[in-house]
Structure 1
């Protein structure tokens, strides 16, 4: 679904949205007018075709540079993924270890839900942050400038938040409740994750939009 944010032209917002979610491009900020997101930082489409074509044209140095950039991106994602996975484990462990009572504490469902909601909130803010970089005159400064680095965004979005949130674990937990005949608990758990996650995503996006406008 393509959405044009307030204060952003519909055409440019669509372009930024498509690029931000695309897997064939690092983050999609190559059209940004700001320094950290210039053309020379763009990673080619995933796959060996670019390296092979460069080699055939005798452009071996560019092929080697592209390969090194791709490997560096993979390491950044791996580092972010390890951080996100540990965070989710610690959140779940904290909730399970807390002196709570109730049907949702079984199997760490509260921990999974909390991790998912935090991830949705953070992803919503990061989404709008990327839109501001691509399609507005806002210039990131301070810590925001560090976050605007394409590789950092890649590590946070795919690595940290991708590992922090989990859909498969959520489905597994709802299936356990359903198999125990606890249909209401299963439905509520799924509904909370989907509806509250959706609301938190756009709430965070609205906050960041006001900050960057």
Structure 2
């Protein structure tokens, strides 16, 4: 029974993350000069910030039940963020000869995402500890 409950938690979290991702993409595309590329970057960096906060919370002694962790980390954040879309978009930019844009896009998703995860983890650990 526990496995089914875990799968249900992941599915519910995944549905919520997918809907949020879609909303972020729509919002980013609706802004003048915006595009789905911005939506992907925002979703990925936001996901890194949330994951860093969760990691910091747990490392500082905060409690997150296994099922809640699965729903949040695997379900919600797994569907909110997307490596495959990031890889395809950066490849398309490079194929179009937009090397500068591709480089900035890769930097924003990987380096900024990593930095935001580290910062939010440290901030939450300091706040909760």
- Tell me the TM-score normalized by structure 1: 0.58
Check if 1:185 corresponds to 2:113: no
Count of aligned residue pairs for this structure pair: 129
Q: How far is the alpha carbon of 1:179 from its aligned partner?
A: 1.1
Summarize the alignment of residues 197-208 of structure 1 with structure 2, pairs less than 5 Å apart.
197-208=113-124
Q: How far is the alpha carbon of 1:97 from its aligned partner?
A: 1.4
Q: How far is the alpha carbon of 1:149 from its aligned partner?
A: 2.1
Unpaired stretches in structure 2, ≥5 consecutive residues: none
Distance in 2 of aligned mates of 1:117 and 1:161: 11
Distance in 2 of aligned mates of 1:202 and 1:155: 22
Unpaired stretches in structure 1, ≥5 consecutive residues: 1-67, 134-139
1:181 alignment partner, SS class: coil
Match of 1:57 in 2: none
Check if 1:130 corresponds to 2:58: yes
Which structure carries more helix by proportion? Answer: 2
Query: 1:171-195 CA deviation, whole Å, 9 max, x = no partner?
Result: 1111111111101101110011111
Distance in 2 of aligned mates of 1:129 and 1:77: 20
- Higher radius of gyration, 1 or 2: 1
Distance in 1 of aligned mates of 2:107 and 2:20: 23
Q: How far is the alpha carbon of 1:153 from its aligned partner?
A: 1.5
Match of 2:80 in 1: 164
- Tell me the TM-score normalized by structure 2: 0.95
- Bigger CA drift: 79-88 or 123-132? 123-132
Match of 2:21 in 1: 88
Q: Compute the RMSD of aligned alpha carbons.
A: 1.2
